[in-house]
Amino acid sequence: MVKPPCGILWHGRPADDVLAALDSTPNGLSSLEAARRLAVSGANQLKEALRVSPLRIFLGQFKNLIVWILIVVGIISGVLGEIVDGIAILAIVVLNAVIGFYQEYNAEKSIASLKKMTAPRAKVRRDGRVASIPATEIVEGDVLELDAGDLVAADARLLKASSLKCVESALTGESDAVTKRAVTLDKDGIALGDRENMVFMGTIVATGQGRAVVVATAMKTEIGRIAGLIEAAGSEEATPLQQKLEAFGRILVGVSVGVVAVLFVLGLLRGMEFFEMFMTSVSLAVAAVPEGLPAVVTVSLALGVQRMARRRALVRKLPSVETLGCTNVICTDKTGTLTVGEMTVRQLHVGGQTYEVTGEGYGPHGEVRLEGESSAPPRAAPLLELATVLIGSNNAHLVLEDGTWKVVGDPTEGALLSVGHKAGGSKERIDLELPKRHEIPFDSDRKRRTVVRQMPDGRLRAFINGAPDMLLPHCTKIYAEGGVRVMTEADRQHIIAQCTTMAEQALRVLGSAYRDVEELTPARLIPEVVERDLVFVGLAGLHDPPRPEAKEAVAKCRRAGIRVVMITGDHPHTAMAIARQLGIASDGDAVIAGPELDKITDEELCRRAATITVYARVTAEHKLRIIRAWQTNAAVVAMTGDGVNDAPAIKQADIGIAMGRSGAEVTKQASDMIIADDNFASIVAAVEEGRGIYDNIRKTLQYLLAGNTGELLLMTFCVVAGLPTPLLPIQLLWINLVTDGLPALCLAIDPIDPDVMKRRPRPRAERITEGGFLSAMFLTGVLTAAISFAVYLYGLENRNVEFARTHAFTTLVFAELLRSFGGRSESKPVWRVSLFSNLNLALVVAASFGLQLWSHHSTTFARFLKTSPVPATDCAVLLAVSALPLIWLELAKVIRLRSRRGLPQ
Q: In what order do the strands lie in the sheet with 563-567?
A: 313-315, 673-675, 655-659, 637-641, 329-332, 563-567, 612-616, 590-593
Do residues 504 and 573 make contact, with C-beta atoms less than 8 angstroms apart? yes
Cis peptide before 572 (omega within 30 of 0): no
The C-alpha atoms of residue 539 and residue 775 are separated, in whole angstroms, by 66
SS (H, E, C) 531-562: CCCEEEEEEEEEECCECCCHHHHHHHHHHCCC
SS (H, E, C) 776-830: HHHHHHHHHHHHHHHHHHHHHHHCCHHHHHHHHHHHHHHHHHHHHHHCCCCCCCH
One DSSP character per residue, 48-66 reads PPPPPPHHHHHHHTT--HH
Active-site entry in 85, 147, 155, 333 = 333
The backbone region for 367, taken as left when phi is positive above 0, alpha when psi lies in -120 to 50, beta otherwise, is: beta
The two beta strands, 353-357 and 368-370, are: antiparallel
The C-alpha atoms of residue 836 and residue 843 are separated, in whole angstroms, by 10
Residue 333 a catalytic site member: yes
Taking the CA of residue 459 as centre, how many other CA atoms within 13 Å lie in the half-sphere pointing to its CB?
A: 8
Do residues 151 and 665 make contact, with C-beta atoms less than 8 angstroms apart? yes
Residue 151 per-residue DSSP state = B
514: part of which helix (H) or strand (E)? strand 507-517
Backbone torsions φ then ψ of 19, nearest 5 degrees: -60, -45
Q: Which residues pair with 592 in a beta bridge?
A: 615
The C-alpha atoms of residue 414 and residue 218 are separated, in whole angstroms, by 33
Taking the CA of residue 844 as centre, how many other CA atoms within 13 Å lie in the half-sphere pointing to its CB?
A: 21
Residue 317 per-residue DSSP state = S
Query: Residues near 864 by Cβ (< 8 Å), separated by ≥ 6?
Result: 84, 88, 730, 855
Do residues 351 and 480 make contact, with C-beta atoms less than 8 angstroms apart? yes
The C-alpha atoms of residue 548 and residue 672 are separated, in whole angstroms, by 26
Nearest to 581 by CA among 627, 548, 535, 539: 548
Q: Is 470 exposed, middle or buried (0-12, 13-18, 19+ CB in 10 A)?
A: middle
One DSSP character per residue, 710-723 reads HHHHHHHHHHHHTP
SS (H, E, C) 210-225: EEEEEEECHHHCHHHH
The C-alpha atoms of residue 173 and residue 3 are separated, in whole angstroms, by 24
Apex 659 CA angle, 654 and 660, nearest 5: 125
Residue 751 per-residue DSSP state = P
Which residues are part of the catalytic machinery? Answer: 333
